Amino acid sequence: MKEISNSELAVLNLLWHSSPMSSSEVVAQLDKSKQWHEKTVKTLLNRLVKKEAIGFEKQGRSYLYHPLIDQGEFQLKESQSFIERVFSGKLTPLVAGFAKENKLSSDDIAELKQLIDNWEEEK
């Protein structure tokens, strides 16, 4: 599968959150966060279709779009390649960086502890 650009990802994120959605719904949602023109959003939907990242069902004159790729898989792949590029493949320095700069909340810590407990249990 082709690379998904940042702008395209914003659209895809919406569809992962709720789908199917018509282009006008996507436009309406995105208009809250980004200031994208309707034409821009349509271009992004089109490119995502070409990349086979999303598909659609015809609904009269308009389409209802839905994701074709799995969010979890996408996130894992992206995370791995990001960590490879930026942290030479090591995950903990990323987390350490957040900790150092106080970007971690107590909730984050609690969740991390939980993760570790689960991991150890399964082992």
- What is the binding site for a copy of itself (CB under 8 A)? 6, 9-10, 13, 72, 74-76, 78-80, 82, 85-88, 91-99, 101, 103-104, 106, 108-109, 111-113, 115-116, 118-120, 123
Separation CA 48–CA 25 (nearest Å): 16
Distances, alpha carbon 71 to alpha carbons 12, 18, 51, in Å:
9, 12, 15
Pick from 15, 36, 48, 54 the residue near DNA by CB under 7 A: 36
Q: Which is nearer to a copy of itself, 57 or 102 (CB)?
A: 102
Q: Which is nearer to DNA, 46 or 114 (CB)?
A: 46
Quick one: what does residue 32 bind among a copy of itself, DNA, none, with the CB cut-off 5 to 8 Å set by partner type? none
Q: What does the block give as tokens for 104?
A: 């971690």
Cα torsion at 11, 12, 18, 19 (round to 10°)?
100
Residue 16 in the binding site for DNA (CB under 7 A): no
Q: What sign does the dihedral 64-74-70-17 (CA atoms) show? A: negative
Q: What does the block give as tokens for 82?
A: 């990001």
List interacting residues with DNA (CB under 7 A).
Answer: 2-8, 22-24, 34-37, 39-40, 42-44, 46-47, 49, 60-63
